[in-house]
Amino acid sequence: MGLAAAMLAAAGCQDSGNSDGDAAAADCGGKIAIFGAFTGPNAGLVIPSLNGAKMAVKQFNAANANCKVTMQEFDTQGNADQATPIANQVAQDQSFLAVIGGHFSGESKATMPIYEAAGLVMVSPSATATELTAAGNKSFHRVVGNDGTQAAAAVEYIKNVQKGQKVFLIDDGQTYGVGIIDGVKKGLGATAVASDKVQTDQTNFDATISKIKSSGADTIAYGGYTNEAAPLLKQARAAGVKAKFIGFDGLYDPGFPSGAGDAANDAIVTCPCLPADKAGGTFSKDYQAEYGQAPGSYGAEGYDGATVLLDGFKAGKKTRADLLAWVDAYDKQGVSKYIKFDPSGDVDKSKVAIWSYKITGGKFEPEQEIKLTS
């Protein structure tokens, strides 16, 4: 029960790894750590990115036989408590020269100071909370638009496409959900009529549904992940709530439509990630060939995150400090977008594309790119 699960979580399911430490001795190449929710309820969101990064490493090693890069996976289940001991382990193991991650905002926020102290550069494919780059952390970079941009796009979408007059805001009280809903709330102003906060692993949403009904909302915006959003939407629809539903990239996960069933039809999910066929180069084709399916959420971003670092290894960078400087100065076209970081670690906002996806028959269909007017 409660106590027991907490003990289990503390024990963690982390790869012990075989850090032999002699990788750094080679003239070229080195070792990267990648961490994120590779198992657990939200793994569906993260696996495409892991696959993208793996593919980038594989292609790099095939093309550069004299410059081998190895990548070691660390599973955090998306949980900040599990990410922290992993961060300490990676920081102390001097054979690791760079980090891909975190994939979620909470685990990134918890581990950023540890990696910064160790001088390890972090390149995140999918941690989008605005506050991550606002903290002045020198180590954190991301190849994805932040939630400030995504929230602004969502506000545009709610106003201009869904024509929402009364919007009900829900978040799950976590770093990512609270951040994006705050952004949406500011953007909507008086159109946001009411709100509620749910908690992780909640299963009964009667109180929230009553609030939605009394508010007379015509649109529901949800910041959080599938495990709560799917039952919430299902129960709301069963209770006769007709309001339109908009979620964010945390719900861009095949588990969301499968958990919510028919209730998910016509729900909108925004994501600062490209539809598979819009990615540059041969990425989509290669991914399809490698894994037998189209790249899902953040596949292209995972590939880009790895590529930024791999280019550094190829340029002969082989210390943590050199790689950090390399990423800071990076300036090149990636498959998801043009990649160049501003001093805070965000990618150039004008290069970020936010897409809306509509759920139809249990599948995400790319709908449109949301243009920001401001």
Partner 1 sequence: MNFDELFGHLGQHTVDGLAKGSIYALVALGYTLVYGVLKLINFAHSEVFMVGTFAVLGTWTVMGATNNPGIGMMLVFLAAGLVAGAVASGATAVAVERIAYKRLRTMNAPPLAFLITAIGLSLVLSEAFGVWQGRLVKGMPTIVPQEVVFQIGNTAITNTQLITVVAAILMMIGLDVFINRTRYGRGVRAVAQNPDTAALMGVNKDRVIMLIFLLGGLLAGAAALLYSVRYGNTRFNVGFILGLKAFTAAVLGGIGNLRGALVGGLVLGVIEVYAATLTSSNWEDVAAFVVLVVVLLFRPTGLLGESLGRARA
Please report how close the Cβ of residue 332 comes to partner 1 at its closest, in angstroms: 36
| DSSP 8-state assignment for residue 251 | G
Total number of residues that touch partner 1 (CB under 8 A) = 44
User: What residues contact residue 117 under an 8 Å CB cut-off, 6+ apart?
Assistant: 91
Question: Which of 21, 136, 261, 281 lies at the binding interface for partner 1 (CB under 8 A)?
Answer: 261
Q: Which tokens hold the place of 230?
A: 């799917």
- Residue closer to partner 1 by CB (options 263, 271) is 263
**3-class secondary structure, 352:** coil
- CA dist 103 and 108 (Å) reads 7
- CA dist 246 and 235 (Å) reads 16
Please report how close the Cβ of residue 252 comes to partner 1 at its closest, in angstroms: 14
Contact 224, 171 (CB under 8 A): yes
- Residue closer to partner 1 by CB (options 16, 214) is 214
Q: Which tokens hold the place of 195?
A: 């709100």
Question: Which of 149, 235, 297, 307 lies at the binding interface for partner 1 (CB under 8 A)?
Answer: 235
Q: Which residue is it, tokens 């290894």?
A: 313
- Residue closer to partner 1 by CB (options 84, 202) is 202
The residues in 306-325 that bind partner 1, with binding defined as CB under 8 A, are none
- Is 10 near partner 1 (CB under 8 A)? no
Please report how close the Cβ of residue 221 comes to partner 1 at its closest, in angstroms: 15
The residues in 38-57 that bind partner 1, with binding defined as CB under 8 A, are 39-44
Pairing label, strands 331-333, 338-340: antiparallel
- CA dist 312 and 34 (Å) reads 16
> Per-residue string for binding with partner 1, 192-221, x by CB under 8 A?
---xxxxx-xxxxxxxx-xx--x-------
- CA dist 342 and 13 (Å) reads 35
- Is 92 near partner 1 (CB under 8 A)? no
- Residue closer to partner 1 by CB (options 74, 115) is 74
**3-class secondary structure, 340:** strand
Stretch that binds partner 1, among 93-101, 143-151, 252-260, 330-338 (CB under 8 A): 252-260
Stretch that binds partner 1, among 84-92, 236-244, 299-307, 324-332 (CB under 8 A): 236-244
Stretch that binds partner 1, among 103-111, 233-241, 270-278, 334-342 (CB under 8 A): 233-241
Q: Which tokens hold the place of 166?
A: 């009364």
The residues in 128-187 that bind partner 1, with binding defined as CB under 8 A, are 173
* Residue spans of beta strands (DSSP E) within the chain: 30-36, 69-75, 96-100, 121-124, 140-142, 167-171, 192-197, 219-223, 244-247, 268-271, 331-333, 338-340, 354-360, 363-370
- Residues forming contacts to partner 1 in the complex (CB under 8 A) are 1-5, 8, 39-44, 173, 195-199, 201-208, 210-211, 214, 226-227, 230-231, 234-235, 238-240, 255, 258-262
